[in-house]
Amino acid sequence: MRHVVSLAPLALIAFTAAQAAGGPVSADSFYAMKTTTLAGQPADLAQYNGKVALVVNVASQCGLTPQYAGLQKLYDDLKDRGFVILGFPSNDFGGQEPGTPDEIASFCKKNYGVTFPMFSKLVTKAGADQSAIYSYLGKTGSLPTWNFAKYLLDRNGMVIQFFNSKVTPDAPELRSAIDKALAAK
């Protein structure tokens, strides 16, 4: 006697979970990627599916480091509208992020009250050591040339726009682009 097991309940559970997170994640989406948190835990970026995201390469010893304050304010102001900031420390520019994960986390919390998600340090520059995250983002034709470059992603994890490091978190053009992305459904 052969037993037939229906996979329909499992498919329904998987579908329901995907819907709760903003729908199915496209294979070519940023949200299809996996990485590691600053605390060293695996992180599936699919958890941000359905949110508008600002991906930022950050550094603790840069002249632009005070942008952390503006990023945190932006996150606080917009997180309840489906917005998230994803911080990726990088030591690529001027060796301005030499710290360990614990040092980075402590610095960000103590000096800027950072509560938005932070991930493990990675390489943004093109080359053999470039992270998969920035290899993906670089397909837009833009890569950071300094710390605090920003990529705005739509709710499906597709890059809408790149902003160079000089564009501060309170810049009208950035806020306008975020508001437009948040208004789109």
- Total-model pTM: 0.87
Query: For residues 27 and 106, which has the higher predicted lDDT (pLDDT)?
Result: 106
pLDDT above 80: residue 5: no
Q: Determine the pLDDT at residue 24.
A: 81
**Residue 170 is which amino acid?**
D
pLDDT over 90 percentage in the chain: 84
CB 116 within 8 A of CB 71: yes
Query: For residues 182 and 25, which has the higher predicted lDDT (pLDDT)?
Result: 182
Active-site annotation, residues: 111
**Assigned token pair, 69:** 């304050």
Q: Tens of pLDDT along 97-118?
A: 999 999 999 999 999 999 999 9
Residues, the chain = 185
pLDDT above 80: residue 13: no
pLDDT above 70: residue 11: no
Average pLDDT, the chain: 89
CB 116 within 8 A of CB 72: yes
Query: For residues 27 and 37, which has the higher predicted lDDT (pLDDT)?
Result: 37
Strand ranges across the sheet with 159-163: 83-89, 52-58, 150-153, 159-163
Q: What is the DSSP letter of 160?
A: E
Domains of the chain listed by start with CATH number:
24-183 (3.40.30.10)
- Mean pLDDT for the stretch of residues 48-67: 97
Q: Determine the pLDDT at residue 27.
A: 81
**Assigned token pair, 26:** 């496209």
Of 136, 171, 111, 127, the closest CA to residue 55 belongs to 136
